[in-house]
Amino acid sequence: MATGGTSLAPDRAASRVTGAGGGRSGPHPKATTVSAATAPAIQIDRHMAPPFLGCRVMRRPWLRPSLWMVAACGTARGPGRLGASRLGGEAQGADRPRLLSGRCRHRSPLLSRRRRMADKLIPREKGFSEWYVDLVQKAKLADYSDVKGCMVIRPNGFALWESIQRALDKMFKDTGHRNAYFPLLIPLSYLKKEAEHVEGFNPQLALVTVAGGKQLEEPYAIRPTSETIINATFAKWIQSYRDLPLLINQWCNVMRWEMRTRLFLRTTEFLWQEGHTCHETEEEAERETRQMLEIYRTFAEEHMAMPVLAGRKSESERFAGALRTYSIEAMMQDKKALQAGTSHNLGQNFAKAFNTQFLGRDGQQHYVWQTSWGVSTRLIGGLILTHSDDSGLVVPPKLAASHVVIIVIGKGEERARVVERAQALAADLRRVGLGVSVDDDESKSPGFKYFEYELQGVCLRVELGPKDLAKEQCVMVRRDTRVKEFAPLSGAVARAQALLESMQKDLFARAKQFRDEHTFEVNTYDELKARADDGFMLAHWCEKPSCEAKVKEDTSATTRCRPFALEQVPGKCVVCGEPSPGRMVVAKAY
């Protein structure tokens, strides 16, 4: 979307409007209530708890079983209401470790000190994660909200999501998928139908137990993912093999109650896309699963300029209810891995749970073979952690909404002439599809603007002043290299396009080089332990969960995936020495 002159301007006007006019209208009497927001909800929770306990309770021994649901969803309360301590102090642990908050006055000392000094970002060297949080906020990508664990995505951040959506949506449509929408609320009984699925997601559920002022007979879960409710629907849509394949995608929000959240990378509510398909045969489902993973890989590398390794997940990282899970894994600048997308071959697990059958070519009833796949707003976190620097956000041109900002320099009559010329140039640049804004604000100095636009990640800065006009030229500065050059105005559009194109390529090349430089084989367990912080370790693994667990225990690194790109030669497990089918990427992960 072409941006006008205001696209990157601080969204002051908007916040003013909200601040003044957007007053709270009191709670609607019929408002749907999320569980634990009212006392009665707790009772339901207690009542509901035992059937879903699963083994999670065992892993969290400090939680009393009767309060289990409070742990899972008891934190779904409005800010400042009904502290867990009022439940008799038994569920204290439930809502403790939340990270995001709208009212965090207290940053780390590092952050505070830095904030006092101008508007500079904390450099990555000083604290990578501080840098990230600082950047997200200063580049106006997202803000904390008053709901714990939930963020506000600001226009600059949402523009990135829109770019991601636009590109992926086209790729989905080009491969025959169609968009649809399913309800936010899922009957709890649906989630229970697939045993492993409910066990996997149970601890992360938020429940709605009161609606229209009455207790619901059966609570609804706010979707953590939609396999169940979609299957309940698919079962009605599918009659025969002629109805297959069924290729559906949904863009929506989901909610998973996390103990610890980070802007974009892991938030309680997030935006994503979930594809759900049904096929006649297992082979076809597998092909679809791999095809969608390949689409993710292509998108990540070609649009986001983020190199990824595509491969198969270990058993312990497999999606709850799937046969097999594949993922793409990217390396962030701190050498940690980020799972950037997943694709699951669901087999017939959900089909059996929901009786999703079709009459086959053979005249017999068969369960459909299914897949599901998704990427989320986490990609924005990945984008930031891959390309950005100490000056702020860096966005690959293919994903950027703001490609060029033209900064007007000069005063008086001269300035008027410069503005005129800048507008003409902007129009030319927009004509070739670029997002362009002209900054004509006289109240801020040019230098201030340079910093500001670098912070916000505009790909290309054009400076235009009286001296330039005299020479029929302008100054162009690429965001990634920050190299200045003079370009003749007559060829400015072509030059801008060329710079953006090479910027896209260079960003990918740089990221890939970094990833490759920090990817290495490890052949002994000592080596693995010693180099766990150095990046992607390629290690033989026998596929026994115990060896994987030991690695995690000793190093906090986990298996990421077994990459397809890596020629799989058998070897010996780096932990136990037993036969391994091939090398696995092992790394510390987000």
Partner RNA sequence: CGGGGCGUAGCGCAGCCUGGUAGCGCGCCUGCCUUGGGCGCAGGAGGUCGGAGGUUCGAAUCCUCUCGCCCCGACCA
Range 533-572, binding RNA (CB under 7 A): 556
3-state secondary structure of 404: strand
From residue 389, alpha-carbon distances to 39, 137, 463 in Å are 48, 14, 22
Which residues 168-227 are close enough to bind RNA by CB under 7 A? 200, 203-204
**Given 128, 241, 451, 564, the residue binding RNA (CB under 7 A):** 451
Interaction between residue 5 and RNA (CB under 7 A): no
Which residues 321-340 are close enough to bind RNA by CB under 7 A? 339
Which residues 392-411 are close enough to bind RNA by CB under 7 A? 409-411
Distance of CA 439 to the CA centre of its chain: 31
Interaction between residue 96 and RNA (CB under 7 A): yes
Which residues 349-378 are close enough to bind RNA by CB under 7 A? 376, 378
Q: Which two tokens stand for residue 214?
A: 């009455």
Which residues 262-291 are close enough to bind RNA by CB under 7 A? 265-268, 270
Binding residues for RNA, rule CB under 7 A, total: 83
Sequence-ordered list of residues with C-beta below 8 angstroms from that of 320, at least 6 positions apart, any chain: 196, 197, 199, 200, 201
CB of 100 or CB of 585, closer to RNA: 100
**Given 22, 50, 83, 579, the residue binding RNA (CB under 7 A):** 83
**Given 67, 84, 153, 399, the residue binding RNA (CB under 7 A):** 84
CA distance 501 to 504: 5
Q: Which stretch binds RNA (CB under 7 A): 35-43, 205-213, 440-448, 561-569?
A: 440-448
CB of 133 or CB of 230, closer to RNA: 133
Q: Which stretch binds RNA (CB under 7 A): 273-281, 301-309, 448-456, 571-579?
A: 448-456
Interaction between residue 109 and RNA (CB under 7 A): yes
CB 153 within 8 A of CB 267: no
3-state secondary structure of 342: strand
CA distance 559 to 586: 4
Q: Which stretch binds RNA (CB under 7 A): 73-81, 273-281, 423-431, 527-535?
A: 73-81
CB of 92 to RNA, least distance (A): 1
Strands in 292-383 per DSSP E: 308-312, 324-331, 337-347, 357-359, 365-367, 369-376
CB of 98 to RNA, least distance (A): 5
From residue 365, alpha-carbon distances to 67, 228, 348, 560, 572 in Å are 43, 21, 13, 38, 44
Which residues 10-39 are close enough to bind RNA by CB under 7 A? none
CB of 471 to RNA, least distance (A): 9
DSSP string, 229-267: HHHHHHHHH--BGGG--EEEEEEEEEE---SS-BTTTB-
Among candidate residues 235, 231, 255, the one with its CA nearest the CA of residue 243 = 235
CB of 244 or CB of 455, closer to RNA: 455
CB of 450 or CB of 514, closer to RNA: 450
Q: Which two tokens stand for residue 166?
A: 């636009």
CB of 28 or CB of 116, closer to RNA: 116
Q: Which stretch binds RNA (CB under 7 A): 118-126, 176-184, 185-193, 487-495?
A: 118-126
CB of 204 or CB of 356, closer to RNA: 204
Distance of CA 82 to the CA centre of its chain: 31
**Given 124, 140, 223, 256, the residue binding RNA (CB under 7 A):** 256
Interaction between residue 161 and RNA (CB under 7 A): no
CB of 96 to RNA, least distance (A): 3
Q: Which two tokens stand for residue 318?
A: 């497999």
CA distance 305 to 507: 6
CB of 160 to RNA, least distance (A): 16
Phi, psi dihedrals of residue 535, rounded to the nearest 5°: 135, -145
Interaction between residue 108 and RNA (CB under 7 A): yes
Q: How many CA atoms lie within 13 A of 547 on its CB side?
A: 22
Q: Which stretch binds RNA (CB under 7 A): 27-35, 59-67, 240-248, 529-537?
A: 59-67
CA torsion sign for 220, 221, 223, 225 is negative
**Given 101, 175, 333, 568, the residue binding RNA (CB under 7 A):** 101
Which residue(s) pair with 442 in the sheet? Answer: none
Pattern of binders to RNA over 485-524, x per CB under 7 A?
----------------------------------------
CA distance 490 to 474: 10
CB of 199 or CB of 279, closer to RNA: 199
* Helix ranges restricted to H, 348-472: 349-354, 378-387, 412-431, 446-456, 466-471
Interaction between residue 415 and RNA (CB under 7 A): yes
CB of 552 to RNA, least distance (A): 9
User: Beta 473-478 vs 484-488: how paired, if at all?
Assistant: antiparallel
Interaction between residue 54 and RNA (CB under 7 A): no
CA torsion sign for 551, 555, 557, 562 is negative
Interaction between residue 452 and RNA (CB under 7 A): yes
CB of 203 to RNA, least distance (A): 6
CB of 81 or CB of 361, closer to RNA: 81
Q: Which helix (H) or strand (E) segment is 296 a member of?
A: helix 282-298
CB of 238 or CB of 322, closer to RNA: 322
CB of 258 to RNA, least distance (A): 6
